[in-house]
């Protein structure tokens, strides 16, 4: 079995975060962890080589920009995708497009 795709989810809404993580972790080749603040994003990304940072609900534009700027230095290879909600089908589609190299990143 190949290594799972490591996905970090950053969301201010704990209920939404738990749902997203449940959907990610039910996939056989995805491994998700979640955080609720930008300091945790930096700490987790320092410890673990995530392939994707998924931005969930409730994040201010200022926090998002700080995260994007810091990760450009700390983890330049990480792909950042905005999750817009809408259920498991959309979530899987957003992740698959990101993994395939499609441009979903909002910079």
C-alpha span between 79 and 71 (Å, rounded): 10
CATH match for 5-100 among 1.10.10.60, 3.40.50.2300, 3.20.20.450, 3.40.50.300:
3.40.50.2300
Instruction: Provide the residue ranges of all domains of the chain, joining segments of one domain with +.
Output: 5-100
CA–CA separation, 104 and 36 (whole Å): 22
Nearest-CA neighbor of 51 among 20, 26, 76, 73?
76
Please give the radius of gyration of the chain, using alpha carbons only, rounded to the nearest integer: 13
According to the model, what pLDDT value does residue 49 have? 93
pTM of the model: 0.83
Asked whether residue 45 carries a pLDDT value surpassing 80, the answer given is: yes
Q: Are 31 and 4 in contact (CB under 8 A)?
A: yes
Place of tokens 């079995």: 1
Give the pLDDT confidence score for residue 89 in this predicted structure.
62
């Amino acid at each position: 079995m190949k290594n799972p795709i490591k996905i970090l989810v950053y969301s201010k809404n704990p209920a939404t975060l738990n749902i997203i993580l449940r959907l990610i972790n039910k996939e056989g080749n995805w491994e998700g962890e979640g955080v609720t603040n930008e300091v945790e994003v930096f700490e987790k990304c320092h410890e673990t080589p995530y392939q994707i940072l998924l931005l969930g609900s409730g994040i201010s534009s200022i926090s998002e920009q700080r995260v994007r700027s810091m990760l450009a230095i700390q983890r330049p290879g990480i792909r950042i995708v905005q999750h817009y909600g809408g259920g498991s089908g959309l979530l899987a589609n957003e992740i698959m497009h990101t993994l395939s190299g499609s441009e979903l990143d909002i910079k």
